């Protein structure tokens, strides 16, 4: 392994906290869909559904703010360069995946907020009085609500696909290429380059 420069402690903490929250929210979102179906069938009480949606909104906003902080940190703190042995297509793929992650980390919470803000009707899914959340200045339109909510809901699969690509590439670099790339972001000393 080579001695690869590491990311800053702030970058590492933001990376892992956002990753855990983002992956968790995919599965929590699917759980919420099951709760909603259960409520419509009279199996799940409304309080349980409201609590799940409140947690989803709260964690979604946390992901948004942490992601904006991470982007600001990234723009003001230079990331370590890629290992010299990386092929040009690998560098391009790494940059593309990272860019798409930023789009998702910021875009998904915003789409959910737009869906909540565009709702014209008093639905328990988006206008829960227990969770004070300011509306974004978007048209009160059922069409906008449906489109933004559908895109937001479908975003779980791209998150998981990007995660598999990202984690797979990191493991490849660590164990096949042995270039110490994973050690730049892992706080464990045995994985450092």
- Residue 4 domain-assigned? no
What is the DSSP-derived secondary structure letter of residue 137? S
Residue 124 has pLDDT above 60, yes or no: no
- Residue 1 domain-assigned? no
Pairwise pLDDT comparison (133 vs 12), residue with the higher score: 12
Q: Provide the number of structural domains found in the chain.
A: 1
Q: How confident is the model at residue 2 (pLDDT cuts 50, 70, 90)?
A: very low
- Residue 2 domain-assigned? no
Question: What's the distance, CA 190 to chain centroid?
Answer: 28
| Separation CA 97–CA 161 (nearest Å) | 10
Buried b (16+ CB within 10 A) or exposed e, 113-139: bbbbbbbeeeeebbebeebebeeeeee
Residue 129 has pLDDT above 70, yes or no: no
Least confident of 22-31, 63-72, 180-189: 180-189
Q: Locate tokens 């565009």: which residue?
A: 118
Would you say 111 and 158 are in contact if contact means Cβ atoms under 8 Å apart?
no
pLDDT in tens, 145-182: 899 999 999 999 999 999 999 999 999 988 999 888 88
Looking at residue 131, its pLDDT comes to 56
Residue 37 has pLDDT above 90, yes or no: yes
- Residue 3 domain-assigned? no
- Residue 37 domain-assigned? yes
- Residue 65 domain-assigned? yes
Three-point CA angle 86, 14, 53, nearest 5°? 120
The residues, any chain, with a CB within 8 Å of residue 119's CB and separated by 6 or more, are: 125, 126, 127, 140, 142, 145
Least confident of 41-45, 70-74, 114-118: 114-118
Q: Give the rounded percent of residues in the chain with a pLDDT score beyond 90.
A: 62
Least confident of 65-74, 98-107, 178-187: 178-187
The residues, any chain, with a CB within 8 Å of residue 139's CB and separated by 6 or more, are: 118
- Residue 178 domain-assigned? yes
Domain hosting residue 35, numbered range: 9-191
């Amino acid at each position: 392994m080579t001695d690869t420069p590491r990311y800053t402690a702030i970058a590492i903490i933001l990376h892992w906290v956002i990753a855990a929250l983002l992956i968790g929210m995919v599965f929590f979102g699917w759980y919420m869909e099951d709760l909603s179906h259960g409520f419509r069938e009279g199996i799940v009480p409304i309080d349980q559904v409201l609590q799940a949606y409140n947690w989803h909104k709260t964690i979604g906003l946390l992901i948004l703010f942490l992601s904006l902080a991470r982007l600001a940190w990234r723009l003001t703190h230079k990331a370590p360069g890629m290992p010299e042995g990386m092929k040009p297509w690998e560098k391009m793929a790494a940059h593309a995946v990272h860019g798409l992650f930023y789009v998702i980390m910021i875009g998904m919470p915003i789409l959910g907020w737009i869906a909540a803000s565009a709702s014209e009707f008093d639905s328990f899914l988006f206008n829960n009085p227990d969770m004070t959340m300011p509306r974004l200045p978007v048209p009160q339109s059922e069409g906008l609500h449906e489109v933004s909510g559908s895109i937001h809901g479908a975003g779980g699969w791209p998150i998981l696909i990007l995660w598999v690509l990202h984690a797979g590439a990191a493991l490849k670099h660590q164990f096949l290429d042995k270039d110490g790339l994973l050690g730049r972001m892992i706080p464990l000393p045995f994985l450092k380059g």
